[in-house]
A = this chain, B = another copy of it.
Amino acid sequence: MNENSGQTPSSQSMRGSNQSGLRAWNERLLFTLLHTQGAMPKAEIARVTGLSAQTVSVIIRALEQDGFLEKGDPVRGRIGQPSVPMSLAANGAYFLGLKIGRRSSEMILIDFHGAIRDRRMLRHDWPEPKAARAFALKAAHELVQRLPEHDRARVAGMGIAQPFQIWDWSETISAPQAMMDRWRDCDLCADLGAQLPYPVFLRNDASAACGAELVFGTRAMPRDFVYFYIGFFIGGGVVLNGALHTGESGNSGALGSMPVRAPDGRTVQLIELASIFSLEQRLVTEGLDPDLLWTDPQDWPVPDHLISDWIARAAQAIAQATVACLAVIDFKAVVIDGWFPPAIRRRLLESVQAAMNAQNLAGIDRPLISEGSLGSDARALGAAALPLTDRFLITTEVGLGNGQTSGD
């Protein structure tokens, strides 16, 4: 009987705040700071947060005591007492991330630094709820058991990344409707949450990938960006004010459903033009083995003209979808990533950039268009980022301030 199920933290809307909330907030602030900026001495943390040195000292000591933070080597060479950089302890917390995909599902275990420690994979013809549940339980058990014993209790949660509303496209991808329908009434998240001793979260797979870019991405990102993840399906995520936005039902960033104009003039959904399944279909009609695309995301041993054709169509469609996105939200960047070799990602990126020039941008600002940094692991990492974010990070950027008037 535990309540580890909710996929959204359920807005408590109008609750007041007290000192414990204050401390909790400041703790998260320090975690967030160390997560994004890396190791920092207490004194500098005090400077950038505006908290007093004493407060930082007290909080940090408590968190170090609890094993979440650790001291680095003292930095000498500057005047004054040497500074001791504090950083997240890699084994301060662990997180499980489950990706459910079209061809395979995968569970990863990451540490507090976001490094993937271990993984388990399951290949399948079609994803299926019961099998997914069994795999999740088995993989979670194995991955946790392989941790040193005293670390096992530090697993802080599990995240699940899966495509939403796949039954809507069973026809498009010629999938067995009956099997897809099994996902309709399946609440894998609540189900696993009831079985496991830590909270379980759920997110759309592309949004999760987007969240991974936000939390683990190597590049500095603007506060608002839109993200395309090209897998078997194309999907998306939106980051607003530095935080992933998923909406009440988690369906924000359903970019695959964006209407675009196909080369033949018809209006179709983006998913039909820019997903890998459309390339796969082409392979099949050419008599090639579709598994060429799925065995290794680092290498696509496929005739180049097929890829070029696909990229051209996909880029054109993505550019159109991007303009629509920009008309809704003033995104400062567009990030493109997916389950494909980095070289392909680069070519697609450049094609999208070129296709943007043909779009009518009157009244909207031209965004930066850039590559994602996580590639094929983005979804699983995004899943694992869910419990990390929920427990340790500040996502909103809009805190309650420190009440100091900016006196002149």
Binding site for B on A (CB under 8 A): 1, 3, 11-26, 29, 32-33, 48-51, 55, 164-165, 168-169, 222-224, 226, 236, 238, 240-242, 245-259, 261, 265, 267, 269-271, 320-321, 323-332, 359-365, 395-404, 406, 408
Assess whether A401 is in contact with B330, with CB atoms less than 8 Å apart. no
Kindly identify which residue among B15, B49, B362, B396 contacts A269, using a CB–CB cutoff of 8 Å. B362
Assess whether A330 is in contact with B254, with CB atoms less than 8 Å apart. yes
Assess whether B269 is in contact with A360, with CB atoms less than 8 Å apart. yes
Assess whether B247 is in contact with A224, with CB atoms less than 8 Å apart. yes
7 contacts across the A-B interface (CB closer than 8 A): A3-B406, A15-B399, A16-B55, A21-B401, A226-B328, A257-B327, A259-B359
Cα of A386 to Cα of B165 in the assembled complex, Å:
39
Cα of A364 to Cα of B245 in the assembled complex, Å:
16
Assess whether A328 is in contact with B253, with CB atoms less than 8 Å apart. yes
Given A21-B403, A257-B363, A399-B400, A50 contacting B247 (CB threshold 8 A): no
Instruction: Find chain B residues with CB under 8 A from A26 CB.
Output: 16-17
| Min CB gap A310→B, angstroms | 21
Cα of A242 to Cα of B398 in the assembled complex, Å:
14
> Nearest chain-B residue to A172 (Cβ)?
B362
| Min CB gap A88→B, angstroms | 16
Instruction: Find chain B residues with CB under 8 A from A324 CB.
Output: 258-259, 324, 327-328
Assess whether A327 is in contact with B14, with CB atoms less than 8 Å apart. no
> Nearest chain-B residue to A399 (Cβ)?
B17
Assess whether B252 is in contact with A328, with CB atoms less than 8 Å apart. yes
Assess whether A51 is in contact with B261, with CB atoms less than 8 Å apart. no
Given A247-B224, A247-B329, A361 contacting B257 (CB threshold 8 A): yes
| Min CB gap A330→B, angstroms | 3
> Nearest chain-B residue to A321 (Cβ)?
B327
Cα of A271 to Cα of B327 in the assembled complex, Å:
11
Q: What would 7 more interface pairs be, CB under 8 Å, given A1-B408, A17-B402, A261-B267?
A: A12-B401, A14-B32, A168-B362, A169-B362, A247-B332, A257-B364, A259-B320
Instruction: Find chain B residues with CB under 8 A from A271 CB.
Output: 363
Instruction: Find chain B residues with CB under 8 A from A238 CB.
Output: 328-329
Kindly identify which residue among B21, B49, B359, B361 contacts A400, using a CB–CB cutoff of 8 Å. B21
Given A18-B51, A19-B22, A21-B400, A365 contacting B251 (CB threshold 8 A): yes
Cα of A397 to Cα of B12 in the assembled complex, Å:
8
Cα of A261 to Cα of B402 in the assembled complex, Å:
50
Closest CB pairs A-B (n = 9): A20-B403, A247-B330, A16-B51, A257-B363, A25-B400, A16-B49, A251-B330, A258-B327, A324-B324
Cα of A109 to Cα of B37 in the assembled complex, Å:
46
Instruction: Find chain B residues with CB under 8 A from A222 CB.
Output: 248
| Min CB gap A32→B, angstroms | 7
| Min CB gap A10→B, angstroms | 10
Instruction: Find chain B residues with CB under 8 A from A19 CB.
Output: 19, 22, 403
Instruction: Find chain B residues with CB under 8 A from A168 CB.
Output: 362-363
Assess whether B329 is in contact with A49, with CB atoms less than 8 Å apart. no
Assess whether B330 is in contact with A328, with CB atoms less than 8 Å apart. no
Instruction: Find chain B residues with CB under 8 A from A326 CB.
Output: 254, 257
> Nearest chain-B residue to A166 (Cβ)?
B363
Cα of A251 to Cα of B402 in the assembled complex, Å:
29
Assess whether B401 is in contact with A24, with CB atoms less than 8 Å apart. yes
Instruction: Find chain B residues with CB under 8 A from A270 CB.
Output: 327
> Nearest chain-B residue to A325 (Cβ)?
B328
Cα of A248 to Cα of B331 in the assembled complex, Å:
9
Instruction: Find chain B residues with CB under 8 A from A16 CB.
Output: 26, 29, 49-51, 55, 402
| Min CB gap A349→B, angstroms | 20
